[in-house]
Amino acid sequence: MLLTQEHEEMKRTMRNFIENDLNPHVDEWEAAGEFPIHEVFKKMGDLGLLGVTKPTEFGGLGLDYSYGLAVSEELGHCNCGGVPLSIGVQTDMATPALARFGSDELRRDYLAPAIAGEMVASIAVSEPHAGSDVANIKTTAKKDGDDYVINGTKMWITNSPKADWFCLLANTSDGKPHMNKSLIIVPKDAGGITVDKRLNKLGMRSSETAQVYFDNVRVPQRNLIGTEGAGFMLQMIQFQEERLWGAASGIRGYDNLIRQTIEYCKEREAFGMPLINNQYIHFRLAELQTEVELLRSLIWRACEEYIGGKDVLQLASMAKLKAGRLSREVPDTCLQYWGGNGFMWDNPASRHLRDGRLASIGGGADEVMLGIICKTMDILPGKKKSS
Ligand SMILES: Cc1cc2nc3c(=O)[nH]c(=O)nc-3n(C[C@H](O)[C@H](O)[C@H](O)COP(=O)(O)OP(=O)(O)OC[C@H]3O[C@@H](n4cnc5c(N)ncnc54)[C@H](O)[C@@H]3O)c2cc1C
């Protein structure tokens, strides 16, 4: 896919923002376990970076998905994964369904402020006993007069400690698990919502993740996204953007880490020569870069098909799977060549390894991606092809 001058300008805007407004503070935010999300998002909103693909009527730039992807790719220049994760939740996880299927009123009240960076969004799907098995969630939203009354617990909810609203998946009837769910926008100040203290994570330290309790939370029925009962399907559609975002936002980070490792191995000497002179090391780094380029090609091919209106379930799942694999392989291999320095907490390979580990779990584990890919390939007897 050929990128235009406009793509390059969008990328430059994101890159400058990362260099000037994020990277100088990353170490401090990682140590603190949080970052000033409202302040950061307001700046991004002013630059148009939170609504690249969103409709212009609600403050977005109305550009096609390739612009969104180009900007997401730049996020890999951020010196940590946590802040980009929080940004991705806002742009590609909590808002795609609202932007496409929400009523104008709902989009005015919740999408427009999210695009402007005035409200922070969270996506609330996972539960303590249902992560991979989304169909098995227990949270309910029962009709009472003009309202839904919501009860349940959501687990591992990124941005939740500072979120202004949740895009929540709940059961709105007792019907079949794929037909009884709805996506509902729940404002944090609705009453009855408790956010637990933030979780102590292996990586993604600067993003805040917590368990959230919904106890008789009342929201108007007009906060429903799309039609009642279509929530599972809408969330599966929303997951496609989340998964492409997840794959794209990592690749510049792999490029940078491989490059930093090459530079380190040129400087560091062992047995009378620079480490990089070992064919085993430079071949391995060349091979990893080849893998990264293959992933980049897959992501951009998926993007082209997505813009063309095709179902990219298979390609997005493959990209997410491969990104998960490389998020482990690239930092682990690089860390090895940094030796003892690589084992230090603040080493770039070490941070990549901790942050990148989430890629094989969050937004659908590697095995869940393999399951989807198998279905699209008609591998299993008796299981219908999904696309
Ligand atoms: C830091 C972080 C941030 C998160 N942010 C959010 C968020 O903002 N919103 C949200 O809704 N969720 C969020 N999640 C939840 C995340 O999406 C889930 O953790 C993920 O979907 C996996 O679910 P689980 O943890 O319940 O694992 P489980 O479903 O218990 O699965 C455990 C493991 O079993 C294996 N497995 C599962 N299914 C299969 C299968 N069919 N075949 C073979 N093996 C299988 C996989 O290896 C999997 O990792 C976040 C999680 C983390 C850790």
* Residue 356 clears pLDDT 70, i.e. is over it: yes
Residues 364, 239: contact at Cβ < 8 Å? yes
Q: How far is CA 382 from the centre of its chain?
A: 33
Q: Span 38-61, mean pLDDT? A: 98
Question: Within a domain: residue 382?
Answer: no
Residues 161, 208: contact at Cβ < 8 Å? yes
* Residue 134 clears pLDDT 70, i.e. is over it: yes
Same domain for 243 and 214:
no
Question: Within a domain: residue 201?
Answer: yes
What is the CATH number for 133? 2.40.110.10
**Count of structural domains, the chain:** 3
User: What pTM, to 2 d.p., does this model score?
Assistant: 0.97
Q: Span 285-306, mean pLDDT? A: 97
Q: Span 206-217, mean pLDDT? A: 98
Active-site residues: which are they? Answer: 242
Same domain for 160 and 290:
no
Question: Within a domain: residue 385?
Answer: no
Question: Within a domain: residue 224?
Answer: yes
Choose which residue among 80, 134, 156 to substitute to test ligand 1 binding: the one with the highest number of ligand atoms within 8 A of its C-beta.
156
**Ligand 1, CB within 6 Å, residue ranges:** 89, 123-126, 131-133, 156-158, 201, 204, 209, 358, 361-365, 367-368, 371
Question: Within a domain: residue 26?
Answer: yes
∠ Cα 296 277 287 (to 5°)? 20
Same domain for 65 and 86:
yes
Same domain for 327 and 238:
yes
User: What was the pLDDT predicted at 387?
Assistant: 44
* Residue 220 clears pLDDT 80, i.e. is over it: yes
- Please report which confidence band the pLDDT of residue 290 belongs to, taking 50, 70 and 90 as the band edges: very high
* Residue 291 clears pLDDT 50, i.e. is over it: yes
Cβ-Cβ contacts under 8 Å for 57 (sequence gap 6 or more): 104, 107
Question: Within a domain: residue 56?
Answer: yes
∠ Cα 107 112 117 (to 5°)? 145
**Domain end (from 231, 261, 296):** 231
Percent of the chain surpassing pLDDT 70:
98
Q: Span 16-41, mean pLDDT? A: 98
Same domain for 130 and 69:
no
Same domain for 167 and 99:
no
Position 45, amino acid: G
- Please report which confidence band the pLDDT of residue 381 belongs to, taking 50, 70 and 90 as the band edges: confident
CA dihedral angle for residue 164, residue 167, residue 168, residue 169, rounded to 10 degrees: -170
- Please report which confidence band the pLDDT of residue 385 belongs to, taking 50, 70 and 90 as the band edges: low
Q: Which two tokens stand for residue 93?
A: 């996880």
Same domain for 224 and 193:
yes
Buried b (16+ CB within 10 A) or exposed e, 104-120: eebbebbbbbbbbbebb
Same domain for 309 and 291:
yes
Q: Which atom of ligand 1 is nearest to the CA of 126?
A: 11
Structural domain that includes position 238: 233-376
Q: Span 212-228, mean pLDDT? A: 98
* Residue 383 clears pLDDT 90, i.e. is over it: no
Same domain for 163 and 219:
yes
Question: Within a domain: residue 242?
Answer: yes
Q: Which two tokens stand for residue 58?
A: 């609600």
Same domain for 300 and 206:
no
Question: Within a domain: residue 383?
Answer: no
**Domain end (from 205, 231, 257):** 231
User: What was the pLDDT predicted at 2?
Assistant: 83
Nearest C-alpha to atom 27 of ligand 1 is from which residue?
Answer: 131
pLDDT tens sequence across 94-113: 999 999 999 999 999 999 99
Same domain for 189 and 91:
no
What is the CATH number for 34? 1.10.540.10
Same domain for 129 and 116:
no
What is the CATH number for 359? 1.20.140.10
Q: Span 321-341, mean pLDDT? A: 98
The mean predicted confidence, pLDDT, of the chain is: 96
- Please report which confidence band the pLDDT of residue 1 belongs to, taking 50, 70 and 90 as the band edges: confident
**Domain end (from 99, 120, 141):** 120
